[in-house]
Amino acid sequence: MNKKASDTIKDKTIDLTTGSPLRLILSFYWPLLLTSTLQQFYNFADTWIVGEGLGDNALAAVGNMGSLFFLVVGFSFGLANGFGILVAQSFGAKNEEELKHRLAGVVELGVVLSVILTVASVMFLPTALRLLHTDELIMEDSLKYGYIIFGGLSTGICYNIASAVLRSLGDSRTPLKAIIASSVLNLSLNSIFIFVLHSGVEGAAIATIVAQVVSSVICLERLRHISIIRLEKEHFINERTVFTDLLKNGLPMAFMNSVTAIGCMVVQAFVNGFGVVYTAAYTACSKYLNLFMNPASTAGNAMSAFTSQNYGAGKYGRIRQGLNVCLGISLVTYLVFGSLMVLIPDRLGSILLSGKEQIDLVCEFLPRCGVMIIFVDALFVVRSGVQGMGKPMLPMLSGILEMVLRVTVVSFFIGKIGFRAAAYAEISAWFGALMFNIFAFHKAFRPYLGTLKDLKCAFGNRGKTKHGLQYIRNI
């Protein structure tokens, strides 16, 4: 690669293959954390606005869409992250032509993906809601909300892909700017639609779509000004191998998210069978889980970008260093947010819910998950490390294991112990998937352990010099 291209990379993106892993990961992590926290915050605020403005039944209707929405959007999010890993590997390897051809393939596959998922989700929405045992009290609102959200699905897919590409190039700041702008707009529109215009749940859906359009435009505009990835017509003339490589890495991650979502949908269906009170309580609990898992999930995203770039550059020792840093972040977040779930579940429940019965159910769920949330916090990091090395199959199988554990536990215990079974279903899924991904990480990383040892031995006495030790650390 020529000097001009190298300077462009340095100016416009962040190279995670050189320098202190701790410093690089933290500088990359904080904007990423703020981005995801704002996303969770405005999702959380949306829930509060719907609950305050329209009541617990409307809250249940919107929350009832959560697992179904994750099934579809999670599929696109998995594909986007899978595509981003290959982009990051090409970037880490400094292979400009491969980088551009892969990006062109991502654009083409993204368009096809948007059309297929939008049509399929709108067509099958009523059937899916019936399969979830949706109560008739909230069916109409669920359909109103769902048709608008899924009808505008392409805006969310566009943002997912654009932000995944930016992260793969080391840019975690632009997605933050996009989310700040879209959050302010979303909350403002939501309040106007519900409290001023009294539009109902469809107002919340419209506000979400408009906000996603804004966030997508900001990310796309940033990508347009990065010259290293400026695409020409010839980059879209791709060989079949480009699409094959992207799909081989993206589809397993997409299916992993989807089967995980199916497990959550089954839990949702069992909970819905007990009535709207249970549905509202489960909605609130799910919102808190997503909020409190967010810092560790973000550490997983940082681990993915760091691993991908260093894997592409052949610097395998840095992957292990990155794992230690990201697991440390997950431990800190567990101590903070796990404690909140254990110590003040009643206060947390009363923020989103008004009924005593619903809040009592939240108090059964949150403390149990709070003690064990360390399993899923560590899972995010370890699994992302495996995926970042371009090994998506075993994490996909762990998603199947998660689904099986959730379904088995909730179906067997909910009739015996009630709402607590939903908490135990989550915990069992987290623990099983973590153990599976620890094995997967060891299996993926093991071939490079010998390489690292051989390199260190080959340096001999030179490896004891300051220059030699620094070189080995950077491998």
Torsion, CA 19, CA 176, CA 225, CA 89, rounded to 10: 40
Element (DSSP H or E) covering residue 4: helix 3-12
- Please tell me the distance from the alpha carbon of residue 360 to that of residue 215, in angstroms, as a whole number: 38
* C-alpha distance from residue 396 to each of 290, 400, 436, 448 (Å): 20, 7, 10, 22
Q: Burial letters for 402-428: b for 16+ Cβ neighbours within 10 Å, e otherwise?
A: bbebbbebbeebbeeeebebbbbbbbb
Nearest partner of 252 among 79, 379, 470, judged by Cα: 79
Q: How much is the CA Rg of the chain, to the nearest whole Å?
A: 23
Where do the structural domains in the chain lie, given as residue ranges? 3-474
For the record, the structure tokens of 303 come out as: 């681990």
| Amino acid 424: pLDDT | 95
* DSSP conformation letters of 214-254: HHHHHHHHHHHT-GGG---GGGGS--HHHHHHHHHHHHHHH
| Amino acid 91: pLDDT | 82
| Amino acid 465: pLDDT | 42
Would you say how long the chain is, in residues?
Answer: 475
- Please tell me the distance from the alpha carbon of residue 323 to that of residue 342, in angstroms, as a whole number: 28
- Please tell me the distance from the alpha carbon of residue 391 to that of residue 393, in angstroms, as a whole number: 6
| Amino acid 404: pLDDT | 92
Helix (H, G, I), strand (E, B) or coil at 126: helix
pTM: predicted TM-score of the whole model, two decimal places: 0.75
- Please tell me the distance from the alpha carbon of residue 12 to that of residue 29, in angstroms, as a whole number: 18
Nearest partner of 62 among 346, 284, 365, 358, judged by Cα: 284
For the record, the structure tokens of 162 come out as: 């654009």
According to DSSP, residue 285 is labeled H
CB 149 within 8 A of CB 208: yes
* DSSP conformation letters of 305-368: HHHHHHHHHT-HHHHHHHHHHHHHHHHHHHHHHHHHHHH-HHHHHHHH---HHHHHHHHHHHHH
How many Cβ atoms sit within 10 Å of the Cβ of residue 283? 26
pLDDT tens, the chain, 475 aa long: 444 444 444 445 677 788 888 898 988 888 888 887 877 776 767 667 766 666 666 677 776 676 677 778 888 888 888 888 888 888 877 878 888 888 888 888 888 988 998 998 888 888 887 777 776 777 777 788 888 888 888 988 898 889 888 888 878 788 888 888 888 888 888 788 877 777 777 777 888 888 889 989 999 988 888 877 777 777 767 667 888 888 888 888 888 888 887 887 788 888 888 888 888 888 889 889 988 998 999 999 899 889 988 888 888 888 889 999 999 999 999 999 999 999 999 999 988 888 888 899 999 999 999 999 999 999 999 999 998 888 888 888 998 999 899 999 999 998 889 899 999 999 999 999 999 999 999 888 877 665 544 444 444 444 444 444 443 344 4
Q: Which residues contact 281 (CB under 8 A, 6 or more apart)?
A: 349, 353, 357, 358, 359, 361, 362, 365, 419
| Amino acid 51: pLDDT | 67
Q: Which residues contact 289 (CB under 8 A, 6 or more apart)?
A: 369, 373, 426
| Amino acid 315: pLDDT | 86
Nearest partner of 382 among 450, 456, 331, 435, judged by Cα: 435
In tens, the pLDDT along 205-225 reads 888 888 889 989 999 988 888
Residue 197's Cβ-side half-sphere holds a number of Cα atoms within 13 Å equal to 14
